[in-house]
């Protein structure tokens, strides 16, 4: 006996990961990001050479089988320095994103939930922060309070706050008029509880995409700050600082300027592709456009 | 239209007012005595007191703020401590480097990005689109100062076509001066062009799906007229927003590029002032840059109303 279904059986909806693994941007971005993150993790346990040891006899060697990327002006192995430098880039950019999210998202959600004067004041203040040249202010902050990784994190993190506030507010404003929010309100839930239980889970994707973008921008900003000597301080290796040291030695050792730059490009490219991939998967409208 | 512009103008003024308070309080939050910070630990008490008098640090906070703002309004930016000349003269002298640099970079970026964006949007999903958007994706990821180093290596160190850095001044002739701005402008323009071409492409894709584009095509309008006239005009709003932001960024954001090329521009002025702790220059120039950003944003808002007639009637 056969059963004839009244309605077509709905196809099972593939999960996020299944969709994501079919997205080229996501796969390439995830692989590049994992590669850099893995390199940073590995550097805690093993690097080809010790980056704190100076071997004057091996100064500025070209790439070879012993030193794949060559050595710098103190005879340090460039590959090892790039591996250790990944830590600084990731740590600074990641903590700056956490600061931006930690302060910006509650502010944005608050503005969306309250509306009116609270919203207006918060958004105008956002405009003010956006009007400041971020890099100049980061340089100012790190110069006045002393160049260090911590101050670089704070300087970059402050400018992440309005970005996340704006994204969270826009996302929350789109969710508030929906029926299930009305239902929650009818059930007597307060605005704070609705934000935590219903708004946040629904804007998490947006925040994740923005997070990868700000992470990538943070890596670029950290490299810039280190390049002008205001980020991570020597002897701790950082990609920006390595590029600064390479600039004056470009006549004799051009490869010194090549590899740290490539490391930055791979990191930023990986994060941007990852962000693009995630937003493709979660937003079918965007997917159609690509 | 008037209501829209009045609102925009009010927002700009409020932004400026709040920003001035923030910039002013920066000097208040520096650790210790600003005069001592500027002069260094070895300065005599007399010298510190003299600078405190010059900066009016012994006066009440509010008096100093009102004084500072009213001087700014007459474009009196104070006197640089390290250069011992009016900050206004420094700014004017450095602007003749930074303004042309920013304008060349913006022109380059626009000339590359808008055609590439339109071209990709029109060939969405095809090989040309994949290649140009892949290139844009890489362009966004390249730090401009690293790209600058590569340019210096190829065009200055290797090919000897342009100087590796420095600026001869406009008095040395237009061509030598322009020559030293070419590499920095390219270094600044390429990452910007990558962003702008992506924005242009997605704005164009949005518009190309609209009914009026189909209508225009159906009634037999030439392809290029539809693209450049009907579609581009409607896609301009996001493009203009990014252009405005980019011009502001190019003025101040050239700070690292100007350092790479040893260009005596505004970015380098402010960088040197920061490292030499010349807080008078820092305070005035930061405020000036903020004012430029606010002004550019206001102009962008006004241009919205020009390209989009619907905004003129909205409140």
Average pLDDT for B36-58 = 77
| Contact residues on chain A for B206, CB-CB shorter than 8 A | 289
Concatenating the DSSP letter of every residue in B175-222 gives: HHHHHHHHHHHHHHHHHHHHHHHHHHHHHHHHHHTSHHHHHHHHTT--
Burial class of residue B312 (count of CB atoms within 10 Å of its CB; 0-12, 13-18, 19+): middle
CB contact under 8 A, A272 and B31: no
* pLDDT score of A50: 80
Task: Please name the residue of chain A whose CA is at the shortest distance from the CA of residue B125.
Answer: A290
Q: Which tens digit of pLDDT belongs to each residue from A48-58?
A: 878 877 777 77
From the list A228, A254, A265, the residue facing B141 with the nearest CB is A265
User: Average of pLDDT values for A274-284?
Assistant: 81
pLDDT score recorded for residue A264? 95
Closest CA to A240 of A220, A213, A255, A215: A220
Would the pLDDT of B235 be above 50? yes
pLDDT of residue A257: 86
Whether the Cβ atoms of residue B305 and residue B5 lie closer than 8 Å to each other: yes
Mutate one of A28, A128, A155, A238 to test the B interface: name it (highest B CB count within 10 A): A128
Confidence of residue B106 (pLDDT cuts 50, 70, 90): very high
Burial of B315 (0-12, 13-18, 19+ CB in 10 A): exposed
Evaluate if residue A288 carries a pLDDT over 50.
Answer: no
- Give the number of other Cβ atoms within 10 Å of residue B85's Cβ: 11
Alpha helices by DSSP H, B123-142: 127-141
Average pLDDT over residues B177-206: 89
Instruction: Check residue B184 and give its pLDDT.
Output: 93
Residue pair A257/B150 in contact by the 8 Å Cβ criterion: yes
A128 contacts in chain B (CB < 8 Å) = 15, 18-19, 22
State the nearest Cα–Cα gap between B93 and chain A, in angstroms: 20
- For residue B71, what pLDDT is reported? 86
The pLDDT-based confidence of B44 (bands split at 50, 70, 90) is: confident
Whether B39 has a pLDDT exceeding 80, the answer reads no
pLDDT of A268 > 90? The answer is yes
Average pLDDT over residues A98-103: 95
Cβ distance of A136 and B252 shorter than 8 Å = yes
pLDDT at A13: 63
Residue B277 confidence class, pLDDT cut points 50, 70, 90: confident
Token representation of residue A239: 């990609």
* Minimum Cα–Cα distance from B137: chain A residue: A269
Q: Are B157 and A257 an interchain contact pair (Cβ–Cβ within 8 Å)? A: no
- Mutate which of B143, B155, B261, B272 to test chain A, going by most A C-beta atoms within 10 A? B143
Render pLDDT for A153-166 as a digit per residue (tens, 0 to 9). Answer: 998 999 899 999 99
A–B interface: beta-carbon pairs under 8 A: 123
Are B283 and B270 in contact by the 8 Å Cβ rule? The answer is no
d(CA B279, CA B285): 10
Average pLDDT for B187-208: 89
Q: State whether B290 and A273 contact (CB < 8 Å).
A: no
Asked if A143 and B256 come within 8 Å (Cβ–Cβ), the reply is: no
Confidence check: pLDDT of B142 > 90:
yes
Question: Closest partner residue to B14 among A124, A273, A290, by Cβ?
Answer: A124
Could you tell me the two tokens for A193? 């509880």
Q: Which long-range contacts (CB under 8 A, 24 or more apart) does A233-237 make?
A: A233/A147, A233/A148, A233/A149, A235/A51, A235/A52, A236/A84, A236/A88, A236/A149, A237/A51, A237/A76, A237/A81, A237/A82, A237/A84, A237/A85, A237/A88
Q: Determine whether the interchain pair A257/B30 forms a contact, defined as Cβ–Cβ distance below 8 Å.
A: no
Query: Which contacts of B31-35 are long-range, i.e. CB under 8 A and separated by 24 or more positions?
Result: B31/A144, B31/A145, B33/B57, B34/B279
User: Which residues of chain A neighbour B19 with C-beta distances below 8 Å?
Assistant: 128, 131-132
Output the pLDDT for position A290.
40
How far apart CA B280 and CA A140 sit, in angstroms, is: 13
pLDDT at residue A262 tops 90: yes
Distance CA(A120)–CA(B165), nearest Å, equals 46
CA distance B177 to chain A (A): 23
| Contact: A261, B150; criterion CB under 8 Å | yes
Mean per-residue pLDDT for B21-32? Answer: 77
Query: Is the Cβ of A224 closer than 8 Å to some Cβ of chain B?
Result: yes
Domains of chain A: 81-283 (1.10.3720.10)
pLDDT > 90 in chain B, percent: 13
With cut-offs at 50, 70 and 90, classify the pLDDT of residue B108: very high
Integer Cα distance of A267 and A271 in angstroms: 6
Is 60 exceeded by the pLDDT of residue A4?
no
Q: Domain ranges in chain B? A: 2-73, 94-308
Q: For residues B248 and B293, is the Cβ–Cβ distance under 8 A?
A: yes
What's the Cα-to-Cα distance from B70 to each of A49, B34, B67, B259, rounded to whole Å?
60, 21, 5, 33
pLDDT band at A68 (very low <50, low <70, confident <90, very high): confident
ipTM: 0.84
| Cβ pair A124:B15 closer than 8 A | yes
How distant, in Å, are the alpha carbons of A47, A187, B23 from that of A52? 11, 62, 41
Poorest-pLDDT segment among A178-187, B93-102, B145-154, B228-237: B228-237
Tell me whether residue A210 is exposed, middle or buried, using C-beta atoms within 10 angstroms of its C-beta: 0 to 12, 13 to 18, 19 or more: buried
Q: Closest CB to A136: pick one of B141, B206, B286.
A: B286
Q: At what angle do helices A116-131 and B2-29 cross, to 10 degrees?
A: 70
CATH superfamily of B94-308: MetI-like (1.10.3720.10)
Q: What is the pLDDT of residue A273?
A: 92
pLDDT value at position A289? 43
Query: Min CA distance, B22 vs chain A (Å)?
Result: 9
Instruction: Measure in Å the smallest separation between the Cα of A143 and chain B Cα atoms.
Output: 7
pLDDT for the residue A287: 46
pLDDT average, residue stretch B261-283: 85
Task: Give CA separation, A13 vs A10, A16, B54, in Å.
Answer: 8, 9, 72
- According to the model, what pLDDT value does residue A3 have? 55
Q: What region, left, alpha or beta, does residue B49 occupy, with left being phi > 0 and alpha being psi -120 to 50 degrees?
A: alpha
């Amino acid at each position: 006996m056969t059963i004839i279904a009244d309605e077509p059986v709905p196809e099972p909806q593939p999960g996020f990961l299944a969709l994501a693994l079919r997205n080229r941007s996501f796969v390439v971005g995830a692989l590049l990001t994992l590669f850099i993150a893995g390199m940073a993790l590995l550097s805690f346990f093993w690097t080809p050479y010790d980056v704190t040891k100076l071997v004057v006899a091996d100064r500025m060697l070209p790439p070879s089988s012993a030193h794949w990327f060559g050595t710098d002006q103190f005879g340090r192995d460039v590959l090892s320095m790039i591996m250790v430098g990944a830590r600084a880039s990731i740590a600074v950019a990641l903590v700056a994103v956490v600061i931006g999210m930690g302060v910006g998202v509650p502010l944005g959600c608050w503005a969306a939930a309250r509306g009116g004067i609270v919203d207006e004041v918060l958004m105008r203040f956002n405009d003010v922060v956006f009007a400041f040249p971020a890099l100049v202010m980061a340089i100012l902050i790190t110069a006045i309070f002393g160049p260090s990784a911590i101050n670089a994190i704070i300087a970059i993190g402050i400018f992440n706050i309005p970005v996340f506030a704006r994204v969270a507010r826009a996302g929350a404003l789109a969710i508030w008029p929906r029926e299930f929010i009305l239902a929650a309100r009818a059930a007597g839930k307060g605005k704070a509880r609705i934000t935590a239980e219903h708004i946040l889970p629904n804007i998490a994707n947006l925040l994740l995409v923005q997070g990868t973008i700000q992470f990538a921008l943070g890596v670029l900003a950290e490299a810039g700050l280190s390049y002008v000597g205001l980020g991570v301080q020597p002897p701790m290796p950082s990609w920006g600082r390595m590029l600064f040291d390479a600039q004056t030695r470009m006549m004799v050792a051009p490869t010194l300027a090549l590899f740290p730059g490539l490391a930055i490009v791979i990191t930023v490219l990986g994060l941007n592709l990852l962000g693009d991939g995630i937003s493709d998967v979660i937003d079918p409208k965007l997917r159609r456009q690509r | 239209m008037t209501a829209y512009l009045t609102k925009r103008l009010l927002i700009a003024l409020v932004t400026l007012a709040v920003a001035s308070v923030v910039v002013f309080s920066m000097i208040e939050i520096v650790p210790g005595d600003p005069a001592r910070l500027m002069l260094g630990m070895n300065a005599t008490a007399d010298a510190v007191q003299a600078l405190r008098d010059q900066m009016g640090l012994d006066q009440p906070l509010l008096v100093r703020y009102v004084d500072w703002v009213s001087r700014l309004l007459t474009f009196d930016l104070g006197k640089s401590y390290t250069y011992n000349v009016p900050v206004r003269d420094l700014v004017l002298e450095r602007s003749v480097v930074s303004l042309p640099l920013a304008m060349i970079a913006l022109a380059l970026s626009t000339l590359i990005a808008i055609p590439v964006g339109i071209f990709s949007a029109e060939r969405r999903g095809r090989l040309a689109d994949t290649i140009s958007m892949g290139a844009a994706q890489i362009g966004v990821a390249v730090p401009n100062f690293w790209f600058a180093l590569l340019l210096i290596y190829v065009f200055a160190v290797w090919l000897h076509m342009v100087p590796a850095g420095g600026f001869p001044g406009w008095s040395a002739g237009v061509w030598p001066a322009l020559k030293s701005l070419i590499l920095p402008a390219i270094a600044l323009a390429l990452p910007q062009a990558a962003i702008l071409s992506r924005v242009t492409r997605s704005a164009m894709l949005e518009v190309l799906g609209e009914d009026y584009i189909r209508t225009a095509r159906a009634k037999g309008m030439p392809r290029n007229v539809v693209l450049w006239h009907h579609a581009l005009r409607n896609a301009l709003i996001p493009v203009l927003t990014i252009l405005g932001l980019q011009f502001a960024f190019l003025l101040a954001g050239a700070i690292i590029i100007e350092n790479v090329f040893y260009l005596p521009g505004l970015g380098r002025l402010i960088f040197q002032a920061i490292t030499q702790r010349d807080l008078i220059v820092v305070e005035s120039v930061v405020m000036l840059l903020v004012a430029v950003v606010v002004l550019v944003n206001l102009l962008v808002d006004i241009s919205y109303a020009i390209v989009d007639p619907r905004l003129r009637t909205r409140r």
